[in-house]
Structure 1
């Protein structure tokens, strides 16, 4: 390590400790802890992207400049000595600016590597996650973050921690060369969701967002509000995700879909095609999901009976995953049974996000073996576009030996479209993970 890189590392640690001490003096340990993240990044360079560290140094400089001005003015108003204080705090401010300059220059490149598109995506994801959670925490009528429920006043720590996690997730997705990262983080999301559900069922209502239990069957996102005539939070949430990332809810955010993905991966290496009648089955189930709750409501059927029907529907879905998806290698539940999946696919066709197939495609079929959504069949490849069941999972992208597959969005290059898509979907994944309780 060069002397400048060593100096950069030392200054990062000193500035982090100084800023953490400030927050500890005027706040709590929970507020001070995030200020130590840059110090950790000095020894683990992959923890935070360089642009985010530059912004952190700039923020620290502004913090200390503001503190210096305020405290010097206060002392001047009371006729107290202020010059030494101004010099000390000014030196701390300059140290932060020095760290920022070093991070921008060669020393930062030596320590953290060159800045590229991945760094921009990781930084944008961290800022988007942090900003969204801060806004949600301030506007929500309940405590959204689980850690904040157990440790009141710790919200800012968990928000910063989830922002760091979002940065890591987006980096993992962009650097994935085997199409495995998405499935792993999706499984983590589902595991956290259902672990909190089980703890809630065990009597710990603190693990439930509203303190009330809701059956985790995706079809109820639509059927539940139609039956009750209220409670449209989940449809709104689904609609927001559709507007941002199209049908990617089905491949990144659905707590049940992760099960189907895991079980399908236990099946044959080459997924089997769906039967010709599968689209008709799913269309019929979507109609039933809309009509049935309205009929039950019109007949004034009590909610336990409606809940029982929903539970049966969910159990049948689990059986389909365990039997059909496991044996075929195709996500049969998500592509032939789940009505919400069909809603996402249909609305997704009206939205701009796509997985596009280049005109030079040789139709070798390598991508078909990676697609568990039955969206890259021989017929789809001949048409030059993925089928209706495409959920923008992206597993097919690294499998194409010629690079003919990629995300597309009007006005963006293929590389930029992928960066924007990963930023949005990783941010949604982490925000939903942070508030995963039902």
Structure 2
């Protein structure tokens, strides 16, 4: 009985893969084979006990086979209707398609029953969480692929029909990342690594595209990858709102976490700050000016400057090349802030005191319910402040029991708190559920951006 679930699931996946191949989607067929391999993969059991598959694989198989049941029902109806309209025999076809549907339903039933639960019981506590991320990434990328008028996935551009394989790989990667970020302390180490990976992939694609591999670039107008241009670019061009809409959509989902998980330049500032002191230097981040943080005023100034310069250049009819040079100068100023200030202070000066997009994210984030808060177990030890590179946990913030305006929900403070006092908050959810929900959102967005975010 231990093998019944993977046997039936494998047969159902083989038939689904063959159907996808017939429709000219070899990538989907390859994804079905990938799931088949996962269906048979086992974690080592104790001596004399059978191995167990991962719980998330069972949930993923259930979802895929449920979709398969719909596909087979619709396909059977279409084929029978075609034969009836053509005056051809249809009974044998109906019997064959009924058998295929029955096999798919049997596989679903066994996975739902006790044999399926026993066979896939590894890491059962977080199985649904990891499967949800796998399926969400796959669904978002699949919709992006079929709704976009041009091939948005790189593999689809080079090997038409194989985009399904890239979707499967990114979904598999997402659930793997999520599984390793469940523990807050581990998440603190992994977040900058996957963030850096996204930045490397983003700029590698840009570099290859500029060297002549046009398919590495997005279809449309090429622009400098400077975060300030997310606002300034559309104002200057009076169009090209895609990046601004994408940014605002992300902020509506995860607040200012765009700055600490998804910004292609922010990863540079993070890396620069980690080259400096392990404990961020207070310095100018603690100073006040007119009762407001100087970091807020600095970013407000760069935001006003970005909007004013973009609008002024547009009204003056300045050529696009001149605007590009102005944007490049602003971007180089940010790089200088990383190298000269972030590296020396151990704080992310570019993101917390220079980048106007960061301020937009922080302000809009205040309208959303996602928060990081301290509970009554906080001892005011200040260890969380040593992990925060955004200057969001100054002494008065700790005393107030919540990070300041520059918080980007990165979660580093949650990972270092030995008292379990720091945590994510969302109305109606327990702290642990709120953190897992937030983690699911940011990891899903990370994987989706890894697949589609290009210049």
Same fold per superposition (TM over 0.5): yes
CA contact (8 A) 1:148 1:155 kept: yes
Q: 1:223 aligns with which of 217, 232, 240?
A: 232
1:385 aligned residue: 402
Task: Note the 1:78-227 alignment, pairs <5 A.
Answer: 80=89, 82=91, 89-113=97-121, 118-175=126-183, 177-178=185-186, 179-227=188-236
CA contact (8 A) 1:245 1:424 kept: yes
CA contact (8 A) 1:129 1:430 kept: yes
Q: 1:339 to 1:152 in 2, by over 3 A?
A: same
Give me the whole-angstrom Cα distance separating, in 2, the residues matched to 1:405 and 1:433: 29
Q: 1:105 to 1:284 in 2, by over 3 A?
A: same
1:410 aligned residue: 427
Give me the whole-angstrom Cα distance separating, in 1, the residues matched to 2:81 and 2:205: 50
SS in 2 for 1:362: coil
The yes-or-no answer on 1:23 pairing with 2:40 is no
Shift of 1:256: 0.2
Q: 1:266 aligns with which of 271, 275, 284?
A: 275
Question: How big is each residue's C-alpha offset from its partner over 1:103-127, in whole Å with a ceiling of 9 and x where there is no partner?
Answer: 2334333333267563333333333
SS in 2 for 1:31: helix
Give me the whole-angstrom Cα distance separating, in 1, the residues matched to 2:195 and 2:445: 12
Shift of 1:381: 0.6
Q: 1:296 to 1:157 in 2, by over 3 A?
A: same
2:3 aligned residue: 6
Moved more, 33-42 or 85-94: 85-94
Give me the whole-angstrom Cα distance separating, in 2, the residues matched to 1:316 and 1:190: 19
Q: 1:305 to 1:413 in 2, by over 3 A?
A: same
1:434 aligned residue: 451
Moved more, 248-257 or 51-60: 51-60
Question: How big is each residue's C-alpha offset from its partner over 1:72-109, in whole Å with a ceiling of 9 and x where there is no partner?
Answer: 676788564845x6555544433333332332334333
Q: 1:25 to 1:289 in 2, by over 3 A?
A: closer
SS in 2 for 1:369: helix
Shift of 1:323: 2.7
Give me the whole-angstrom Cα distance separating, in 2, the residues matched to 1:82 and 1:141: 40
SS in 1 for 2:2: helix
Give me the whole-angstrom Cα distance separating, in 1, the residues matched to 2:110 and 2:394: 52
Q: 1:56 aligns with which of 58, 61, 64?
A: 64
2:259 aligned residue: 250
Task: Note the 1:362-381 alignment, pairs <5 A.
Answer: 362-381=379-398
TM-score normalised to the size of structure 1? 0.90
Give me the whole-angstrom Cα distance separating, in 1, the residues matched to 2:197 and 2:82: 51
Give me the whole-angstrom Cα distance separating, in 1, the residues matched to 2:77 and 2:39: 29
CA contact (8 A) 1:205 1:211 kept: no
1:342 aligned residue: 359
Shift of 1:212: 3.6
Question: How big is each residue's C-alpha offset from its partner over 1:160-205, in whole Å with a ceiling of 9 and x where there is no partner?
Answer: 4333333333333324533112112111111110001101211222
Give me the whole-angstrom Cα distance separating, in 1, the residues matched to 2:304 and 2:422: 34
SS in 2 for 1:396: helix
Moved more, 154-163 or 68-77: 68-77
TM-score normalised to the size of structure 2? 0.87
RMSD: 2.6
Shift of 1:390: 0.5
Shift of 1:341: 0.6
CA contact (8 A) 1:187 1:258 kept: yes
SS in 2 for 1:407: strand
Task: Note the 1:267-416 alignment, pairs <5 A.
Answer: 267-275=276-284, 276=287, 277-416=294-433
Shift of 1:154: 2.7
Q: 1:367 to 1:87 in 2, by over 3 A?
A: same
Give me the whole-angstrom Cα distance separating, in 1, the residues matched to 2:184 and 2:401: 25
Shift of 1:355: 0.8
CA contact (8 A) 1:109 1:115 kept: no
